Amino acid sequence: MYINKSMNNRAFKTLFFLFFIFFTSVIFAQNRFSNDEQLKRIYTFQYNQESDSLKVYFTHQNPIYREAACLAFASVQDTNIVSELFDLLPLEKQAQVRKAIIYSLGQMNAWQNNKLVPYFDKEQNLEVKGVCLEAIAKTSKKDLSDFFANVQLFSQNTDYMTSYWRALYFANKRKNLNVWHEGLNQRLNQLDLSNPRILFIHNQLFKSNPTVGSDREIQNKRIQNNYTSVDAYLKSISSPYKQHNYIKDSLFTDEVLLQLVHSQNHSLVRYEALDRYIKKYWQMIGWNEKINSGLINKVFESGDVALISRMAEYVKDQNLSNRKVEVTKENLLLVQQKLELPRDFEVWVDLEKAILSFEGKKYQYESYFTTGYQNPIDWYYIVKVPQNQKVKIKTNKGDIIIECKVNEAPASVANFLKLVDSGYYNDKYFHRMVPNFVVQGGCPRGDGWGSLSWNQRSEFSNYLSYQPGSVGLASVGKDSEGVQFFITHTYTQNLDGRYTIFAEVIQGMELVNQLVVGDVILEIERI
């Protein structure tokens, strides 16, 4: 009797211990992937773009996994799967899964998407209808003015109305909307503009053409014709960004510009000098003696990817404009072969465009991943990242706190945090700032043309949208993200679904708005 009771107590304690371990592991899971092998498996299929493996989950009994599999195609963007996604819509009872299907369809510019207009009237869930409006606007090839002038509005539903406005923005961007259409214009003037995002889009729709400013101020500046004095002045300026501003705001003779191009100054200076020189003689008809084979080849032989990219752009545009360029396709192929991939993928693309221009062809973008390069998703690292992981960006103007979105962009967050842990971002610069748009930094070269020896996949399988303080990854196209990140000043709908969002500013937005080119990232550290 005593033995049985003792054994029962031990069994009870064992069961209690196991239950406690399970309970705490669930409650204190780092993020949504930490204790869910199925989600990790689905996301791995997404990351590797294995469409057939994802399709298996379309009929899974758990709607969470059906949603994840359908949403994965917002990143994969395999147009061969469009018909199958449409076939799922009338069968799917869960609104969140239907929303995922339609969102993914909106990421793919396929002809079958014309079925979304009749489907919109059948859908009853307002959240799904809102996403459907955006998908129609992003993919339609027809004028949508009548459609948006007559579609039913639910003005009390903020999310739906936000989607309506976002849809107008996307349709207008594709030139499929006439904001002065009588019915639509009347409707637009009656809507509530108290929502700041809606107000921003309203202003984008009705913005006037920018006024061209006077060039009189720069025309009255003295032309610098002595390279020795220009070079000495540049050496007296400590920051390459201030050197760049000096070149940008000054006038130079052709000889001085060319000497700057071939100098040992920072790439920012050399690029600006080359850009100024090329623009000056861009439109010359016939043989362009000002941009001859000697200059072109010397730039290509420099090995500077920024200058090579600029000259490749010139060659491409001259060929496509039927102007003669004294450089051969074979020259460009040799330059392209010397690049280090995937680090120099951006300039590789620019050279490929120039190479194809010799045959009058235009480049169709392909991810570098298609060549076989892989940067595997690191689940061992990801599962340990807290879903509210905060990071402090220390700048010369103060501290900015961001919160990472590991649930939405696990691979991007992991790669970013690895760079943070290694100290990579310390003493890097903000090399780009466009007012009322973005500030960008993290380039190893400091001029926006640098990367490391890997690329990563784009992560769009979420409903994140750019707003003030969104932190995204710079890229040259889908699946080419690397180390450079940017922070948005405002709502930037044109970036949605095209650039990965992996974090958001939760403190220090006033400092973000003060950052300019040349400001320093002193250190980035986890909190």
Return the residue matching tokens 């579609």: 151
Q: Count CB atoms within 10 A of the CB of residue 253.
A: 14
State which H helix or E strand residue 354 sits in.
helix 345-357
8-33 mean pLDDT: 57
| Greatest C-alpha distance within the chain | 107
Q: Count CB atoms within 10 A of the CB of residue 60.
A: 15
- Within a 13 Å sphere around the CA of 490, how many CA atoms are in the beta-carbon half? 14
Q: Count CB atoms within 10 A of the CB of residue 356.
A: 18
* Residue 470 contacts residue 501 (beta carbons within 8 Å): yes
* Residue type (1 letter), 160: Y
Q: Which residues lie closer than 8 Å to 257 by C-beta, 6 or more apart?
A: 273, 274, 276, 277
Tell me if the pTM is above 0.85.
yes
How does DSSP assign 369-429, residue by residue? GGGT------HHHHTTS-TT-EEEEEETTEEEEEEE-TTT-HHHHHHHHHHHHHTTTTTEE
Which residue in 212, 263, 208, 213 sits closest to 240, CA to CA? 263
Residue 514 is predicted with a pLDDT of: 97
In words, the CATH class of domain 37-205 is mainly alpha
22 against 479, higher pLDDT: 479
In angstroms, how far is the first alpha carbon of the chain from the final one? 56
DSSP 8-class letter at 288: -
Which residue in 377, 363, 361 sits closest to 413, CA to CA? 377
Return the residue matching tokens 């976002």: 166
* Residue 526 contacts residue 420 (beta carbons within 8 Å): yes
Q: What is the 3-state secondary structure (H, E, C) of 16-46?
A: HHHHHHHHHHHHCCCCCCCCCHHHHHHHHHH
Q: Count CB atoms within 10 A of the CB of residue 148.
A: 25
pLDDT in tens, 400-412: 999 999 999 999 9
CA distance 225 to 231: 11
* Residue 64 contacts residue 41 (beta carbons within 8 Å): no
51 against 12, higher pLDDT: 51
pLDDT band at 373 (very low <50, low <70, confident <90, very high): low
pLDDT in tens, 277-329: 999 888 765 556 889 889 999 999 999 999 999 999 999 999 988 887 889 99
* Residue 446 contacts residue 240 (beta carbons within 8 Å): yes
Q: What is the 3-state secondary structure (H, E, C) of 309-340?
A: HHHHHHHHHHHHCCCCCCCCHHHHHHHHHCCC
Return the residue matching tokens 């990965």: 500
Tell me the average pLDDT of the chain: 89
Instruction: Name which of 98-102, 365-369, 446-450, 453-457 the model is least confident about.
Output: 365-369
Residue 80 is predicted with a pLDDT of: 95
* Residue 163 contacts residue 151 (beta carbons within 8 Å): no
CA distance 353 to 361: 8
* Residue 263 contacts residue 232 (beta carbons within 8 Å): no
Q: Which of the following CATH numbers is that of domain 379-526: 3.60.21.10, 1.10.10.10, 3.40.50.10860, 2.40.100.10?
A: 2.40.100.10
* Residue 35 contacts residue 25 (beta carbons within 8 Å): yes
Q: Count CB atoms within 10 A of the CB of residue 462.
A: 17
248 against 369, higher pLDDT: 248
Q: Which residues lie closer than 8 Å to 481 by C-beta, 6 or more apart?
A: 412, 455, 456, 457, 458, 473, 474, 475, 499, 500
229-239 mean pLDDT: 91
Q: Count CB atoms within 10 A of the CB of residue 495.
A: 18
Instruction: Report the relative pairing of strands 520-526 and 251-252 from DSSP bridges.
Output: unpaired
